[in-house]
Amino acid sequence: AQSVTQPDIHITVSEGASLELRCNYSYGATPYLFWYVQSPGQGLQLLLKYFSGDTLVQGIKGFEAEFKRSQSSFNLRKPSVHWSDAAEYFCAVGGDTGGFKTIFGAGTRLFVKA
Amino acid sequence: KAGVTQTPRYLIKTRGQQVTLSCSPISGHRSVSWYQQTPGQGLQFLFEYFSETQRNKGNFPGRFSGRQFSNSRSEMNVSTLELGDSALYLCASSRGFDTQYFGPGTRLTVL
């Protein structure tokens, strides 16, 4: 069965510190992997995606993610967090299964302290 | 390019009523998907439409239905509303085989 696990419900980091959000997935075929960010009351904004090729992908706002097939992981990282990064982050897996369907993780709420 | 638009942004209904939500995709996108987001269940896939045909469906009761028009705009309908239908309903558009781009959502409150 297709699934996405984000083991951390919430994380608190200090402004300027590094960040890593974990994501593990289960998918029968070659997955398309995504990270989205959601500010309160807003829709989801795409941060980055992985389809194939280089396993380290760069996204917007200084985020990057690394695809590790052996670990079924797609962790999101940022070297220095800004207060404006406080939001909820969703990892997602999708694919063309006769119709493109995306499965989302439960999300990780990021708090940034001054 | 204009992004995905959803109308209305906020809606208040009472139990037993029905509601219709609208989504206009990014120009050129032929796929529209709908999701329900609640604090307890997170983001759950409702259905996907591609070129006016429902191509994928999640595990929701038949009270939830949708359609897509020839211009790719989509509507979602919920009949006989229940309190548990209170949620943020998100629409996403794509070319049909890759990245989905989301609208701001419609916040539905059922009283």
* Separation of CA B78 from chain center: 10
Q: Is the pLDDT of residue B103 over 70?
A: yes
Residue A108: closest C-alpha in chain B = B42
Inter-residue contact B93 to B4 (CB < 8 Å) = yes
Record: contact B31-A100, CB cut-off 8 A? yes
Contacts of A47 in chain B (CB under 8 A): none
Give pLDDT, residue B56: 86
CB contact under 8 A, B98 and A100: yes
Contacts of A106 in chain B (CB under 8 A): 42
Exposure string of A14-42, with b = 16+ CB inside 10 Å and e = fewer, is eeeeebebbbbbebeeebbbbbbbbeeeb
pLDDT at A43: 87
Q: Which residues lie below 8 Å from residue A37, measured CB to CB, with a gap of 6+?
A: A44, A45, A47, A61, A87, A88, A89, A90
Work out the average pLDDT over B1-8. Answer: 91
Give yes or no for A100 touching B (CB within 8 A): yes
Asked if residue A51 lies in contact with residue A64, where contact means CB atoms within 8 angstroms, the answer is no
Mean pLDDT computed over B77-81: 97
Identify which of A74, A70, A72, A73 has the alpha carbon closest to the alpha carbon of residue A57: A74
Confidence (pLDDT) at B93: 93
Nearest C-alpha neighbor of B93 from the set B22, B38, B37, B42: B22
**Rounded distance between C-alpha atoms, residue B38 and residue B88, angstroms:** 7
Place of tokens 């409702």: B46
Average pLDDT, chain B: 94
Residues of A within 8 A of B48 (CB-CB) are 99-101
Which of B94, B104, B105 is closest, CB to CB, to A100?
B94
- Tell me, what's the pLDDT at B68? 97
Nearest CA in chain A to B31: A100
Length of chain B: 111
Residue B19, SS3 per DSSP: strand
Instruction: Tell me the pLDDT of chain A (114 aa) as tens digits.
Output: 788 999 999 999 999 999 999 999 988 777 889 999 999 878 899 999 998 888 999 999 999 999 999 999 999 999 999 999 999 999 999 876 655 678 899 999 999 999
* A76-A81-A86 Cα angle (round to 5): 85
Contact, A105 vs A44, CB < 8 A? no
pLDDT in tens, B22-63: 999 999 999 999 999 998 888 999 999 999 999 888 899 999
Q: Which pLDDT does position A4 carry in this prediction?
A: 94
The confidence score (pLDDT) of residue A98 equals 55
| pLDDT at position A82 | 96
